[in-house]
Structure 1
Amino acid sequence: MGEYVEANGTTIWTESRGEGPAVLLIAGLGDPAEAWQAQLDGLSDRYRVIAFDNRGAGQTPLPDGPMSVATMADDAAELLRGFRVDSAHVAGFSGGSAIAQELALRHPAAVRSLVLMGTWARADAYFTAMTRSWHWLVTEAPDERAMLEAFFLWIYSPRAHADGTVQRLIEESLAFPYPQSAAAFRRQLESFQQHDALDRLPGITAPTLVLAGEQDIATPPRLGRLVAGAIPGSCFEVLAGEAHQPLQESSDGFNARVHAFWHEVDGGTPPP
Structure 2
Amino acid sequence: MGRYVKAGELEIWTEQVGEGPDVLLIGGLGDTVESWQFQLDGLADRYRLTAFDNRGAGRTAMPEGQPTVEAMADDAAAVLRGLGISAAHVAEISGGSIISQELALRHPELVRSLVLQSTWPGMDQYMKSLCRSIHWQAALAPDERAFLEFFFLLVYTPRAHNSGMVSQIIDDVLAFPYQQSTGDFLKFLDAFVVHETAGRLGQIKAPTLVLAGGVDPMSRPELGEAVAQRIPGAQFEVMPEESHQPFQEIPDVWNARVNEFWQEAERLHPVIEPVGNPDE
Task: Name the TM tier (shorter chain).
Answer: over 0.9
**Which residue of structure 1 lines up, in the alignment, with residue 278 of structure 2?**
none
Residues paired across the two proteins, number: 268
**Which residue of structure 2 lines up, in the alignment, with residue 185 of structure 1?**
185
Alpha-carbon distance between aligned partners in 2 of 1:44 and 1:139, rounded to the nearest angstrom? 40
Shift of 1:136: 2.2
**Which residue of structure 2 lines up, in the alignment, with residue 124 of structure 1?**
124
**Which residue of structure 1 lines up, in the alignment, with residue 259 of structure 2?**
259
Shift of 1:159: 0.8
| Conserved? CA contact 2:66–2:187, under 8 Å | no
Alpha-carbon distance between aligned partners in 2 of 1:197 and 1:33, rounded to the nearest angstrom? 26
**Which residue of structure 1 lines up, in the alignment, with residue 164 of structure 2?**
164
Gaps of 5+ in 1: none
SS of aligned partner of 2:63: coil
Shift of 1:3: 1.1
Matches within 5 A, 1:90-129: 90-129=90-129
TM-score w.r.t. length of structure 2: 0.94
| Conserved? CA contact 1:219–1:244, under 8 Å | yes
**Which residue of structure 1 lines up, in the alignment, with residue 58 of structure 2?**
58
| Conserved? CA contact 2:27–2:96, under 8 Å | yes
| Conserved? CA contact 2:54–2:60, under 8 Å | yes
Gaps of 5+ in 2: 269-280
Whose radius of gyration is greater, 1 or 2? 2
Mean Cα displacement is larger for which, 64-73 or 233-242? 64-73
Letter in 1 for 2:96: G
**Which residue of structure 2 lines up, in the alignment, with residue 173 of structure 1?**
173
Shift of 1:139: 2.7
Alpha-carbon distance between aligned partners in 2 of 1:233 and 1:8, rounded to the nearest angstrom? 35
Q: Does 1:247 align with 2:222?
A: no
**Which residue of structure 1 lines up, in the alignment, with residue 208 of structure 2?**
208
CA deviation string 1:28-52 (max 9, x = no partner): 0111111111001111111010000
State the Cα RMSD in Å: 0.9
Q: Does 1:23 align with 2:23?
A: yes
Alpha-carbon distance between aligned partners in 1 of 2:65 and 2:179, rounded to the nearest angstrom? 21
| Conserved? CA contact 1:139–1:182, under 8 Å | no
Alpha-carbon distance between aligned partners in 1 of 2:169 and 2:66, rounded to the nearest angstrom? 31
**Which residue of structure 2 lines up, in the alignment, with residue 7 of structure 1?**
7
Alpha-carbon distance between aligned partners in 2 of 1:138 and 1:25, rounded to the nearest angstrom? 27
**Which residue of structure 1 lines up, in the alignment, with residue 271 of structure 2?**
none
CA deviation string 1:109-157 (max 9, x = no partner): 0000000000011111110000111112223211010000000000000
Letter in 2 for 1:177: P
Mean Cα displacement is larger for which, 119-128 or 136-145? 136-145
Mean Cα displacement is larger for which, 93-102 or 162-171? 162-171
